[in-house]
Structure 1
Amino acid sequence: MSQTTRPAAPVGRLPMLDALRGVAALGVVLHHEAPLYGAPGLFPRAYLAVDFFFMLSGFVLTLAFEPKMRGGMATGDFLVRRVARLWPVLAVGVLIGAGWRLWIGATGQLWLLTLCGLLLVPLRRGPGGLYPINGPQWSLAYELLANAAHALVLARLGNRALLVFVLAGAGMLAWCAYVWGSVGLGDTGRNWWGGFARVGFGYGMGVWLGRKFAAGRAPVGAGLAWAGGLALPLALFSLPWWPLGVVAGDLLAVFVIFPPALWCAAHVVLGGGALKIADGLGRLSYPAYAIHGPVLIWGAWLAHRHGAQAAMIRPLTLVAVLALAALLAISPLAHGIPANWITGRRKG
């Protein structure tokens, strides 16, 4: 049997997926960085990385938790684990955002904004972001909603019913993209409704693919696995130059490219230095995503205030994002809060 085929659910992490998660997170950082300086940047469509994150989350959580759910794992236990895993690093991002507002003297309702950010309570006030303190956290809120739907509904659906759910989500997402003009919605008070379509399709597709992968369906050889896996970042970053409209290009990426690319990447086998790089990118991905928004805004504010040093401050801000993300990745916060601290139960 080829070492690139997997007859059953794998044990441990899938390194190429870790690498793609890290690359996609860095794409999001650069996507948000350029507009702060009045530039479109090289990656104006990297918002589609969020759709990949939703799909990837459904995939890996299906492999890790659906057997436990079928074995009697309570919905509450699953959700506590997810919140405990995500919240500490997210809270750091919120506190950085609150610190910036305190630094510049924008203290009006700061306590409310900070509390809502820490509790993941969205604020639909006007056309601005749902989370003014740390804007990118909107997708994490939707992901936790998807986790709840997974435990309560999706885990109980058979594969055919799940596929119907995914196709319905695809139809809803296509309609939302047509109405809004792109798939880049769900993060503001004007388009919050689109977030349900994005996470519904992406996460649901990830669950469906995860079940097929766990069953050992359609293994992929090494060459195709690498080609398919690399198609995702290539499409993500080259899409603005394709001869397609925004809606058509976005939907092509999300519907046609991302699912098979995820499938292929899951079959890539890495070793040696490549495995270490993939692991490092994977560990860096969530901290970078969770804290980059307020750090970039703080840096851009400093650059605009000190115009003469702007050329130096801008790259240093990116370095600060990566350095802080790396510190968080090796800190105890990266492992989350022990779930028993929240439930009050003792291990064993």
Structure 2
Amino acid sequence: MSVHRFRVLDGMRGIAAFTVMDRHAGVGFGIPVCAEHGYLAVDFFFMLSGFVLAYAYERQIAGGMSFGTFARLRFVRLYPMIFAAGVLGAVCFSPGWPGKTAELAVLNTADFVLLPLGLLFHLATFPVNIPLWSLFFECCANGVYFSAARLPEREVTKAVVYLAATGLILAVIAHWATQLGAVGVNSGVAFLAGFPRVAFSFGAGVLMFRFSVHRRFPAVPDYVPAGVLTLLLVMPACGWWYDVLCVLLVFPVLLGLGSQAVESHGLSRFWLLCGALSYPVYVVHEPVLRGVFRLAGAGSAQGYWAMTLAVALAYALLRWYDEPVRAALAARLQLAKA
């Protein structure tokens, strides 16, 4: 199977990242929010991550890859942008902090070590750069995945029971929280609820690849799954049931369709660009939005300029920082390209 078969999925991940930024900009600058359900992009991220990791590492882990090697590969892939986002977050968050200097130091440090230390002060898990909450859960899921991938069992019954149990818990949580947007982000209880949230989606992605479920989907044009995903994320507020429907039923179908989608010649570069920008845009947009807001205040013009600046900075960091640093780290650690 060619890596290029998943280029459409990468593009869909980019679309999802832009909807997250749109939602945050709308709330912060008081401009119309196009992606009312942009927060569901995170659940799609988790599912796609589980699928792609299983594709990349399943055989290697089963063949004896050590946890140290796996951890180094994931570190090289994720940490350079986490570090850049931590620096940017500190610069944009620290001015005007009303609390103690020690508290500020702890909150800024949390971003670099990816720990939800904001809970110590009854704040969001990562108040300096809120989107990092999902990377914390991503890393937790990666660790659990490595352990599970080493197990010899591949029983369909166990997989179905796992998905049914975690899906039911997720539905209960969505009903309790009225929507999934704040699950994993705010308060200690919401933070704990984040574990079932990632457990279903990440696990569904892994199991879809492990049991080759994605191969059973038809080859559709690339704009079909991408278009449906976009429509789902821009739908007006519907209630907790909509979140459950998307995550438990529709997202797995879109993942399967995206994995088999036939690329349109005119869209190939678009998918490549969206995929490349997805991670940088996701981790840096929040500090950029905050920085522009503090300098220029709220308003439509400020909001759109802030989003434009976030995309431009994400591209610059990708091209002249992230890619070179990852290549250097991989070479220094004697790893294959991460």
- TM (norm. structure 1) is 0.86
CA 1:346/1:59 → structure 2, altered by over 3 Å: closer, same or farther?
Answer: closer
Deviation per CA, 1:228-247: give whole Å up to 9, x if none: 4432221121253xxx4x11
1:309-320 alignment runs, 5 A limit: 310-320=299-309
Runs of 4+ aligned residues of structure 1 deviating over 6 Å after TM superposition are 339-342
Indicate the residue corresponding to 1:201 in structure 2. 200
Displacement after TM superposition at 1:315 (Å)? 2.1
Report the AA paired with residue 147 of structure 1: N
Q: Please, which of 89, 105, 109 is the counterpart of residue 115 of structure 1?
A: 109
Would you say 1:50 and 2:37 are equivalent positions?
A: no
Would you say 1:326 and 2:318 are equivalent positions?
A: no
Displacement after TM superposition at 1:219 (Å)? 4.1
CA 1:163/1:328 → structure 2, altered by over 3 Å: closer, same or farther?
Answer: farther
1:1-348 alignment runs, 5 A limit: 9-12=1-4, 14-38=6-30, 41-104=33-96, 108-109=101-102, 110-123=104-117, 124-156=119-151, 157-160=153-156, 161-184=158-181, 185-190=183-188, 191-213=190-212, 217-222=215-220, 226-240=223-237, 244=238, 246-270=239-263, 272-304=265-297, 310-334=299-323, 337=326, 346=334
Report the AA paired with residue 19 of structure 2: G
Displacement after TM superposition at 1:37 (Å)? 2.4
Contact 1:231 1:257 in 2 (8 A): no
The 1-side partners of 2:259 and 2:112 are apart by: 33
Deviation per CA, 1:29-63: give whole Å up to 9, x if none: 00111111245622222100000000000011111
The 2-side partners of 1:216 and 1:58 are apart by: 13
RMSD of aligned alpha carbons: 2.5
The 1-side partners of 2:328 and 2:65 are apart by: 14
CA 1:126/1:171 → structure 2, altered by over 3 Å: closer, same or farther?
Answer: farther
Deviation per CA, 1:75-118: give whole Å up to 9, x if none: 22112211221111111111111112344466723322222210
Report the AA paired with residue 170 of structure 1: G
The 1-side partners of 2:236 and 2:172 are apart by: 20
Displacement after TM superposition at 1:269 (Å)? 2.3
Contact 1:236 1:253 in 2 (8 A): no
Contact 2:49 2:205 in 1 (8 A): yes
Contact 2:208 2:214 in 1 (8 A): no
Deviation per CA, 1:167-192: give whole Å up to 9, x if none: 22111111111211112210122410
The 2-side partners of 1:133 and 1:171 are apart by: 32
Runs (5+) with no aligned partner, structure 2: none
Q: Could you tell me the percent identity over the aligned residues? A: 30
Deviation per CA, 1:291-313: give whole Å up to 9, x if none: 11111111112222xx7xx5543
CA 1:219/1:171 → structure 2, altered by over 3 Å: closer, same or farther?
Answer: closer
- TM (norm. structure 2) is 0.89
Structure 1 residue matching 2:12: 3-state secondary structure: helix
The 1-side partners of 2:252 and 2:90 are apart by: 37
Task: Indicate the larger mover: 19-28 or 188-197.
Answer: 188-197
Indicate the residue corresponding to 1:3 in structure 2. none
